[in-house]
Amino acid sequence: QVRVAESGGDLVQPGGSLRLACAASGSIFKIKGMKWYRQAPGLLRELVAVVGSDGVPDYADFAKGRFTITIDSAENTGYLIMNNLKPEDTADYSCNLNIQPYPASSPLDYWGQGTQVTVSA
């Protein structure tokens, strides 16, 4: 069984930085990819960043130049590093990990519970 948990959300002032973590535990052979989403109150969930097994990241326009998505395979943890945060970045951030539990198994998507980021003076 695989479990995923986000952490790192906090209240931060505009211009500040946060590092969100997405930690996987349980039966993990390989993390094939990761996506970060966010959802602000009253708005639809939107994709923030994605990285696949090739390691090439892709970002939403609002995240380019400010956010960095990475995976530490040794720790089975993915990260979203967010710099120069703005009030409009306030949202619940959740991660999706595409994990291959065993060598002979197909990869599956696993979700965490979300972590709240609030950007306010």
End-to-end Cα spacing for the chain: 41
C-alpha 24/C-alpha 5 separation (Å) is: 7
Would you state the pLDDT for residue 1?
87
Q: Is the pLDDT of residue 61 over 90?
A: yes
Q: What is the pLDDT of residues 18-57, one digit of tens each?
A: 999 999 999 999 999 999 999 999 999 999 999 998 889 9
Q: What is the pLDDT of residues 69-102, one digit of tens each?
A: 999 999 999 999 999 999 999 999 999 999 999 9
Q: In what order do the strands lie in the sheet with 2-7?
A: 2-7, 18-26, 77-82, 67-72
Q: Is the pLDDT of residue 113 over 90?
A: yes
Would you state the pLDDT for residue 102?
92
- DSSP E strands in 28-76: the ranges are 30-39, 46-51, 57-59, 67-72
C-alpha 34/C-alpha 21 separation (Å) is: 11
C-alpha 120/C-alpha 26 separation (Å) is: 36
C-alpha 18/C-alpha 96 separation (Å) is: 19
